[in-house]
Structure 1
């Protein structure tokens, strides 16, 4: 997936505008780099992705506008941040960003795309698997790929870059019409946090509490689960059985009994022998 590179001079102008500066020296101070770097970018005709990401996270500027001059959100309103607060936030975000390279950032990128292997990611972005493996081994932060992923999938830039998403970012997602829900991975009977994902509310069954929804995946299976629902009925449920979590098809039987069907087979038990964790409201199946 190859695209033409944005004009370096225009990108630098937008970076400067976002920071409210007018010279290359002032821009270098904001980006916390040597002043000569900006001149080198102009001569090379390319601005590193890390600089663009820092500016977007630091100033709140629209990522799509910084990269190509077009707002992703037509109703975007620029938010100005005081220089003192901006500097503190920028340093903190830059530190988090550069400390989460390699395995962690590649995992978030693949999750955002829905890929399970580095080969799939490499083929899609036309990057050799050897290059991706080098990023993995050297804990490298691939800024240009992070930007591409954010623009391509709509995933939160802050989450892709740092592994975190603040409350304000989640609220903004909801306001823009693409609300996010927590994303979990079910592994060895336990649920672990796995960032956030976006979901169109039209896919959610009527009556479900959107604020209680979690996207849960395990291997090639995935579900949207309304957590906290515990009035057991026929359907698919997230259950705790003997301390291990898994998703099961449940049907009630006379005598306070349940028929449980899982990936490893089926069995019967009493209702008090399981702990209900949530109701599956949407099942996502792999077409392959």
Structure 2
């Protein structure tokens, strides 16, 4: 997940979510100056804090706002629990006041970092901040600085909401239910087909999030014959199990068993062999597979 740039595309999608015609209207909704908006636009900075506010206020999918993927407006979102002033397709009202912008009041983007980080730990089920830092792939010092300075971790909140399905409103503000039934119910995963050892992208699948394994960071779908695999490209360690691997630019799903002295056993239903750990490129770990009974005509 790239939270460093892509800001122009994100801001364009936020305009669509609110139904605004100009970025000035967006400035007034977020209570920021035109220069702040202009700077973020010119530098293409990812506006994680605005994404959170927009998603809660409009009901737009956090994944669609952030990356342009998935269903823009799922049927069940947290916007339905907000006041009419923040319903989907909010109309532009100049000089929006605090009563018309309740989420702006709840989101304190200058502080609230410690409480938010504590909620992130609860959402992931981690016991220590070091576990959270490892999962987010940030240094111990970065985690410590945000916690000590009480910096609001908007980018981490977006990542956590996408990975865990926890309520965005609860993660950001502590309000509402942690396991809200109003969170996004579907997730779109890129789909690839294995054809003669090559990975060929062929659209996407949309899944009910309750069907997917928890805590997938970079999920993809791989189709190989009658088998469909749900995999995660985020690899922290290679454990025994099924993997999407690349050997000499040939992709395949194989069962991997680790052996002593950095040797692994690579197995399929037809044959098996042993090789060095470094001889194989591990692309993604298989978490779930679906078998078709009959191949459609």
TM-score normalised by the chain length of structure 2: 0.51
Is residue 91 from structure 1 mapped to residue 90 from structure 2 by the alignment?
no
Q: Point out the more displaced range, 152-161 or 92-101.
A: 92-101
Q: Do the aligned partners of 2:18 and 2:91 also contact (CA within 8 Å) in 1? A: no
Distance 1:39 1:160 in 2: 28
Q: Do the aligned partners of 1:21 and 1:27 also contact (CA within 8 Å) in 2? A: yes
1:166–1:87 distance in 2 versus 1, CA, 3 Å: farther
Match of 1:32 in 2: 31
Matches within 5 A, 1:150-189: 150-165=161-176, 170-173=180-183, 176=185
Distance 2:142 2:100 in 1: 29
Q: Do the aligned partners of 2:59 and 2:73 also contact (CA within 8 Å) in 1? A: no
Matches within 5 A, 1:1-288: 3=2, 5=4, 7-71=6-70, 76=75, 79-81=88-90, 91-98=101-108, 101-165=112-176, 170-173=180-183, 176=185
1:135–1:82 distance in 2 versus 1, CA, 3 Å: same
Distance 1:27 1:76 in 2: 24
How many angstroms does 1:138 deviate by? 1.8
1:148 aligns to what SS in structure 2?
helix
1:47–1:53 distance in 2 versus 1, CA, 3 Å: same
Distance 2:2 2:65 in 1: 16
Distance 2:68 2:143 in 1: 29
Distance 2:102 2:3 in 1: 32
1:171–1:82 distance in 2 versus 1, CA, 3 Å: farther
1:159–1:90 distance in 2 versus 1, CA, 3 Å: farther
How many angstroms does 1:115 deviate by? 1.2
TM-score normalised by the chain length of structure 1: 0.53
How many angstroms does 1:91 deviate by? 3.2
Q: Do the aligned partners of 2:130 and 2:140 also contact (CA within 8 Å) in 1? A: yes
5+ residue gaps, structure 1, are 179-198, 202-288
Distance 1:147 1:42 in 2: 20
Higher normalized helix content (fraction of residues): 1
